Structure 1
């Protein structure tokens, strides 16, 4: 099915107005300046990927400044506003041969640049609880999700309509034609032709939600995504949660995305799904998950649809998304707030993937041990200052990927300017 954004938009609007509406956010607008906000996020990030097969390690340290401005909406039936951002990163340590390109681009001599900067803006209008935005944005949808896991965030250029006219229902329709990746100040260096997205989520009850989305990246692939999330609360301290995610991808003939993930470029298809069960009891949580990939190729993403477009359970350093791969996860989470240290959390996860098509056989394997500590200051002058340290120990068959140890460290401090 070829996605038609205009038809999808009409369908979304009809669905929104056919049900009882919520109170209008636009009618409660205080004004362009009165509802405006501006923040500056200071992000200090260190990245160390230590390869065990002799390949050059990637070691980079930088300081990022992420400034965002969001205006309010003018008063009246139709409200107008503007959003803008400014990004700056400064290299603190790196070098030729060990630079990490997702932090800093390189010059013609292969040396990492000393700094990067980028700015963008979008205009927006609102009617009732429906917002139409055009310009540079940070979309976070299951089929179009910008990557913000390094020093500076990825951005996209296009149009997005978000409607929340019905309680519990969110509808999104969009078309984007530009992709500004992390570590590169260019507006669209990958020459994205277009990506169309449509879908939404609905909270059926407080404990059960459904999400459906579709996307079409021109000359790459068409994707369908679904999610079911069901929570069973036993009491105030105990709950059981089930989270099911599935992607169905049909690659365009000759798609480089399909070829990169084992396809032959002709009518390649892929299905990736995961099911996670999480049992929470007080400060503790125990998770088991199974993920499976089937079809003619592995699951491809970040080919015009964003570096975080993989809403599945077993995604850490590795995404366990290779051709015919099936993987199991066991993980544990701890909230130290119950032990007198509010704001401190810990997670450890072990994932093993098997049956990967590699070297012409279905016997490739990979495994990862993931650890992460995070601490957020809860009060005082440094309130919201956060520290995050994560480590992945990854091992795989030679035909699957190189063995490595990875460390990522982040210090973030948000400043409210307005």
Structure 2
């Protein structure tokens, strides 16, 4: 589905015109000043502030490849092709966090044990496991495995915290990904500062990633590489700034040693009254340039998305346009969620020179007396994928010439609102993806059910 620049402009103007009659979202300027609260002053102490809890997640996915696409597994030493893959895993996190010691410099520690149990252990069903079920070199599921998922020490002064060790970290370029039974995490040092009321800073350096479905630490590699290149160092810095009550912005950059330098700008603006009609506008932009030894070859890539969301009480309707400008994929680090583009779904819609457009509808049943119950449906079309001008070797794109694909999905989720299972969530989704002959994501249907139960011990 193609949408011209003129149509996008007309949609934005018409939406803004409607909202002029319901402009209740404050557009006031927010002056920058020191934060009125001091987190370290409220420290309870190493023992008094401690907590022990976690989550357990039941993760089930049933995939069916269509047309001529197939999964492959090892059947008595013979590669065997099958259309269906089933993964069913129970992932549990037991997380201990101490409180911060009192005084000018607070110290705390965090340790989390990750455990996974394969509930479906059939070699044929898991079809090699991939990044869903941990399997041995023969393709047999590892019945049960554990690892230290988090292990760090934190130092805090006022509202600034330094974390050293294995940790969670979230920015638009380096971000923990949690769409499997267990999440990823990163090994290194990070700094997060909130000394100002509307301005926060992040800086970090990492040398290893703890993957979602692996027991050991790994070097960093890219999500779409075709050459197996790895790197030891990822450095990132950035800030979040809210100049107006209705406008939030982010600016980040990262150096992936000998891969690329990547820059990100994002902005979200809210206008109107959602009880009548609200408009949310979102912009995401990435610039990627090769650096150092250029292990990923020459890269000069721009990627951006623009989304316009209308909300009326329980109903939301969102239009998103996305474009890649470059002869390679828009790429990001494997085992991260470092892609904040609006049309990153089951497919990332990030092929060379690809354009895509999405329409999504959401329904929040809280407006109808059922808080916690939500529904959503979306459809994305991508077209114009062209890698014929690519001159490198890191990406398999030279056969992409006018490729296209589409994806649609429907989902529902429910979060328990009270009682002993409060905050327990269950989400079910059904997704379909169809592609032209050479588009890399292929033809697949997936049904997924994920139940997450939080628990507290201390």
TM-score in terms of structure 2 length: 0.82
Are positions 1:68 and 2:95 aligned together? Answer: yes
CA deviation after TM superposition for structure 1 residue 235, in Å: 5.8
For residue 140 of structure 1, give the secondary structure of its aligned residue in structure 2: coil
Question: Which residue in 2 is equivalent to 1:335?
Answer: 364
Unaligned runs of at least 5 residues, structure 1: 1-17, 259-264
Question: Which residue in 2 is equivalent to 1:368?
Answer: 407
C-alpha contact 2:219 2:232 (8 A) present in aligned 1? no
Question: Which residue in 2 is equivalent to 1:12?
Answer: none
Question: Which residue in 1 is equivalent to 2:336?
Answer: 307
Are positions 1:384 and 2:418 aligned together? Answer: no
C-alpha contact 1:200 1:213 (8 A) present in aligned 2? yes
Question: Which residue in 2 is equivalent to 1:283?
Answer: 314
For residue 409 of structure 2, give the secondary structure of its aligned residue in structure 1: strand
Gap change, CA 1:189 and 1:247, over 3 Å in 2: closer
C-alpha contact 1:42 1:66 (8 A) present in aligned 2? yes
1:252 and 1:163 map into 2 onto residues whose CA distance is 29
Question: Which residue in 1 is equivalent to 2:118?
Answer: 91
Deviating more after overlay: 293-302 vs 354-363 = 354-363
CA deviation after TM superposition for structure 1 residue 158, in Å: 0.4
1:272 and 1:160 map into 2 onto residues whose CA distance is 27
After superposition, what is the alpha-carbon deviation per residue over 1:113-140, rounded to whole angstroms, capped at 9, x for unaligned?
1122111310010001000000001111
Gap change, CA 1:114 and 1:192, over 3 Å in 2: farther
Question: Which residue in 2 is equivalent to 1:146?
Answer: 176
After superposition, what is the alpha-carbon deviation per residue over 1:216-275, rounded to whole angstroms, capped at 9, x for unaligned?
11122110000011100236443100000001111347756x4xxxxxx2x321111000
- Listed as ranges, the matches of 1:5-404 within 5 Å are 20-52=34-66, 53-56=68-71, 57-97=84-124, 98-119=127-148, 120-188=150-218, 192-234=231-273, 236-252=275-291, 255=294, 258=296, 265=297, 267-303=298-334, 306-357=335-386, 360=399, 362-401=401-440, 402-404=442-444
C-alpha contact 2:129 2:135 (8 A) present in aligned 1? no
TM-score in terms of structure 1 length: 0.90
For residue 152 of structure 2, give the secondary structure of its aligned residue in structure 1: strand
C-alpha contact 2:315 2:361 (8 A) present in aligned 1? yes
For residue 99 of structure 2, give the secondary structure of its aligned residue in structure 1: coil
2:198 and 2:85 map into 1 onto residues whose CA distance is 44
2:289 and 2:371 map into 1 onto residues whose CA distance is 46
CA deviation after TM superposition for structure 1 residue 360, in Å: 4.4
1:22 and 1:75 map into 2 onto residues whose CA distance is 19
For residue 54 of structure 2, give the secondary structure of its aligned residue in structure 1: strand
C-alpha contact 1:104 1:116 (8 A) present in aligned 2? no
1:102 and 1:69 map into 2 onto residues whose CA distance is 26
Superposition RMSD in Å? 1.8
C-alpha contact 2:414 2:427 (8 A) present in aligned 1? yes
1:29 and 1:237 map into 2 onto residues whose CA distance is 42
For residue 50 of structure 1, give the secondary structure of its aligned residue in structure 2: strand
CA deviation after TM superposition for structure 1 residue 104, in Å: 2.4
Deviating more after overlay: 287-296 vs 105-114 = 105-114
Question: Which residue in 2 is equivalent to 1:11?
Answer: none
CA deviation after TM superposition for structure 1 residue 373, in Å: 0.6
C-alpha contact 2:59 2:450 (8 A) present in aligned 1? yes
Gap change, CA 1:168 and 1:290, over 3 Å in 2: same
Question: Which residue in 2 is equivalent to 1:262?
Answer: none
Quick one: which of 410, 413, 417 aligns to 2:453?
Answer: 413
After superposition, what is the alpha-carbon deviation per residue over 1:365-416, rounded to whole angstroms, capped at 9, x for unaligned?
0100011110011112322221101111000011003200012210111001
Question: Which residue in 2 is equivalent to 1:15?
Answer: none
After superposition, what is the alpha-carbon deviation per residue over 1:37-95, rounded to whole angstroms, capped at 9, x for unaligned?
22220100001221112412331101111122222110001000101111000000043
C-alpha contact 2:309 2:317 (8 A) present in aligned 1? yes
Unaligned runs of at least 5 residues, structure 2: 1-31, 72-83, 221-229, 388-397
C-alpha contact 1:316 1:370 (8 A) present in aligned 2? no
1:108 and 1:363 map into 2 onto residues whose CA distance is 38
1:271 and 1:317 map into 2 onto residues whose CA distance is 21
C-alpha contact 1:364 1:399 (8 A) present in aligned 2? yes
1:161 and 1:19 map into 2 onto residues whose CA distance is 20
For residue 448 of structure 2, give the secondary structure of its aligned residue in structure 1: strand
